Amino acid sequence: MTEFKKIIASIAAALVSLTVTIPVLAAATLHPYDVNGDGNVSMADYTVLTMLLDGYKPLSYDKYDVTNNGVVSFADAATIFDYYRYGSSASSASVANFNDLTPPVADIASIYNSVTYLKRNCSTGAVTEYTLNTNGDDVASTASVEWSTPMVTDPNETAVVKITDSQGYLIGTGTIIGNHIIATAAHNLYDALEGYYDIAIQVIGEQSQVLNTITPSYIHLPKMYTIGDGSNIYDYALIYVDENLSQYGMFEIGLALDSFVTDTTGEYSVKVSGFPGNMSEDARYVSEGSIHGTNNILNGSANPNIMCHYAITYNGDSGGPVYIDETYEINGVNYSCKTMVGIHLDGYYKYDWAIDKYAVARRITADQLRFYCANTNLN
């Protein structure tokens, strides 16, 4: 939990009974911040959305993009909080976008699945397994508009960390998403022939200096990744460290909607930050590119697992955040955050060379939210 989430939580604790009764707009109209559809904007709306983002409630999350940017994230929850706590008004344009929505679906128990994970103790090498209940993904729909920016240095984002082998050589990238949690790709931690890698985490500072080198305590990855299905679907992982990482900052996690990942107009874009091996391995670089919506359609619907885009990447970026920048307002004060919607897997340099160069990410869905944010097996 970020420090700002803690602040909101302390304010919200005193506001459990506060509700804002909203005017009746039309028979089939929902106020955009009334995410539970009960006719009021209240603590319940903020709570249900934060529970979704914290991995505790499987919901039809396409109804919760109150900021209308194609991603469900903490910025949406903060916007709802600002409305019921400080009386900020939703814009008429935002209300109009929700005129035809039906109330959100509650828990969808019928689409629960389960995923088995392996947990390795980095000190002893002992490996145990556990299973988490997870939630399936909803679905929704010409050539994509392609644009990208060159790689530029990203010196201040210390929440994007370098993953090395025991000799200090670059393996890939990770993202701090909690006080003790780093998200990355499974292929940075495990190989079918070599087994588990002995890794270290390097926090890199503004001048490319190593601020800290951390030995992980546990690593977690899907069991299916290790038993013959090393596909992109299972290529995500979690690193747990004993040291508190909050001083280095952290990313929020969000859910990109189907309309976001299938966009072919160039309207939606993502950024990728990491340590590309073709550049200086001691410096972070970031690139931005449009969504490759054509490649994100599988059997006529949005691919629930993979997100393709045109941001420029290279070896070493693997495991880094695929993210958007967001802003929100609380009581007249503007805040900003970086929201990770995917984990970088494979590079712009590789696919369809000279024809259609693009990059591939593991799309964040409800099962990853539970794995990263509501996992009681971390240590």
pLDDT exceeds cutoff 90 at 83: no
Residue 120 lies in a domain: yes
Query: What's the distance, CA 362 to chain centroid?
Result: 10
Give the residue from 97, 130, 156 where a domain finishes: 97
Based on the domain organization, do 28 and 167 belong to the same domain?
no
223: in domain:
yes
Q: Does some domain include residue 108? A: no
pLDDT greater at residue 278 or residue 120: 120
109, part of any domain = no
* pLDDT of the residue at 56: 66
**CATH code, 165:** 2.40.10.120
Please determine, for residue 300, whether its predicted confidence score (pLDDT) is greater than 50. yes
Residue 198 has pLDDT above 90, yes or no: yes
Instruction: Confirm whether 258 is domain-assigned.
Output: yes
The CATH number linked to 26 is 1.10.1330.10
Q: How far apart are CA 331 and CA 88, in angstroms?
A: 8
Residue 59 has pLDDT above 80, yes or no: no
CA dihedral (209, 248, 254, 371) positive or negative: positive
Could you tell me if 205 and 170 lie in one domain? yes
What DSSP designation does 26 have? -
**pLDDT at residue 24 greater than cutoff 90:** no
9 class by beta-carbon count within 10 Å (0-12 exposed, 13-18 middle, 19+ buried)? exposed
What is the percent of the chain where pLDDT is above 90?
Answer: 34
Q: Are residues 313 and 196 part of one domain?
A: yes
Proportion of the chain above pLDDT 70, given as a percent: 72
pLDDT band at 49; cut points 50, 70, 90:
confident
- Helical spans, DSSP H, in the chain: 3-12, 43-53, 74-86, 92-97, 223-226, 258-261, 366-373
Per-residue pLDDT of 315-346, as tens digits, reads: 899 999 999 998 888 778 888 889 999 999 98
The pLDDT of residue 200 is above 90: yes
Reported residue count of the chain is 379
**Claim to verify: residue 277 and residue 247 sit in the same structural domain:** yes
For residue 359, give Cα distances in angstroms to 301, 315, 351. 20, 11, 7
Q: What is the pLDDT of residue 334?
A: 83
Q: What is the DSSP letter of 341?
A: E
Query: Residue 103: inside a domain, yes or no?
Result: no
- Higher-confidence position of 206 and 174: 174
Query: 343 in a domain, yes or no?
Result: yes
Residues 82 and 150 in one domain: no
225 vs 156, residue with greater confidence: 225
- For the whole model, what pTM was predicted? 0.81
91 pLDDT band, cuts 50/70/90, is: very low
Q: Which of 153-162, 165-174, 344-353 has the lowest mean pLDDT?
A: 344-353
Final residue before a domain boundary, out of 31, 65, 97: 97
**Same domain (yes/no): 189, 51:** no
SS (H, E, C) 249-310: CCCEECEECHHHHCCCCCCCEEEEEECCCCCCCCCCEEEEEEECHHHHEECCEECCCEEEEC
pLDDT of residue 99: 31
Q: For strands 269-274 and 255-256, give the pairing.
A: unpaired
Residue 134 lies in a domain: yes
- pLDDT of 270 reads 94
Count the domains in the chain.
2
146 & 254 share domain: yes
pLDDT at 77 over 60: yes
Output the CA angle 109-111-113, nearest 5 degrees: 100
d(CA 89, CA 342): 31
Residues 192, 65 share a domain:
no
Query: Does residue 175 share a domain with residue 92?
Result: no
Please give the backbone phi and psi of residue 347, each rounded to the nearest 5 degrees, phi first. -100, 155
Residue range 180-197: mean pLDDT, rounded: 94
**Residues 160, 193: one domain?**
yes
Domain assignment of residue 166, given as a range: 115-373
Top-confidence residue, 229 or 182: 182
- 191 and 43 in a single domain? The answer is no
pLDDT at 153 over 60: yes
Do 187 and 255 fall within a single domain?
yes
Residues 302-306, mean pLDDT to the nearest whole number: 81
Q: Last residue of a domain, which of 68, 97, 126?
A: 97
